[in-house]
């Protein structure tokens, strides 16, 4: 049955949905092809949770480096300067079983100083490195 003839001044009341369905199906196929690639590009981070028996002991064995806003560096509570920092760090790492260094820096610290401390820690033999933001008021 043919569509009824329309006059030129009447509005079109029928719409052809075939192109719309075609475009939607193409988009679905594209998303199905791209979605697995987007998921596989993520970076995997190992999540480590110490057991309750070893948690306290390992915290005391870590090397804690704190960088103050003015650039002063302390290693396990011992104030150091540019000359004594590496020696103090080597001494602290030799006593550490896990060779883990935790660097605590303020958000206002210069990034270059934090990177220098990271590099020095790695060169001194640190196996694990962690960077923390200093608590407000502390």
Give the predicted TM-score (pTM) of the model: 0.55
Q: What is the largest CA-CA distance in the chain?
A: 95
Residue 56 has pLDDT above 60, yes or no: no
**pLDDT at residue 136, rounded to an integer:** 67
Own/partner pairs, 71-76, CB within 8 angstroms, 24+ separation: 71/109, 71/110, 71/113, 73/117
Output DSSP code: residue 130. Answer: E
- CB neighbour list of residue 105: distance below 8 Å, 6 or more residues apart: 66, 67, 113, 114, 117, 131, 132, 133, 134
**pLDDT at residue 129, rounded to an integer:** 87
The chain-wide mean pLDDT, for the chain, equals 81
Question: Does 4 or 82 have the greater pLDDT score?
Answer: 82
Query: At 57, is the pLDDT very low, low, confident or very high (cuts 50, 70, 90)?
Result: very low
Q: Which fold has domain 58-133?
A: Nucleotidyltransferase; domain 5 (3.30.420)
Write down the domain spans for the chain: 58-133
Q: Compute the average pLDDT of residues 92-120.
A: 86
H/E stretch holding 73 reads strand 73-75
First to last CA, the chain: 83
pLDDT tens digits for range 11-51: 878 888 999 999 999 999 999 998 887 766 556 667 777 65
Burial-class residue 80 by CB neighbours within 10 Å (0-12, 13-18, 19+): middle
Query: At 113, is the pLDDT very low, low, confident or very high (cuts 50, 70, 90)?
Result: confident
| Positive/negative CA dihedral, 18, 21, 25, 31 | positive
Smallest Cα–Cα separation from 89: which of 109, 49, 116? Answer: 116
């Amino acid at each position: 049955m043919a569509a009824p003839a329309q006059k030129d001044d009447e509005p079109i009341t029928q719409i052809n949905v075939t192109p719309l369905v075609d475009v939607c199906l193409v988009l679905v196929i594209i998303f199905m092809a791209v979605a697995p690639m987007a998921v596989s590009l993520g970076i995997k981070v190992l999540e480590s949770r110490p057991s309750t028996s070893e948690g306290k002991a390992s915290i005391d064995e870590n090397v804690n480096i704190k960088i103050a806003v003015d650039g002063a560096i302390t290693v396990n509570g011992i104030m150091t300067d540019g000359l004594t920092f590496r020696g103090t760090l080597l001494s602290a790492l030799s006593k550490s079983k896990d060779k883990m260094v935790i660097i605590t820096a303020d958000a206002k610290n210069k990034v270059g100083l934090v990177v220098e401390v990271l590099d020095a820690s790695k060169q001194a033999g640190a196996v694990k490195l962690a960077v923390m933001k200093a608590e407000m008021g502390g």
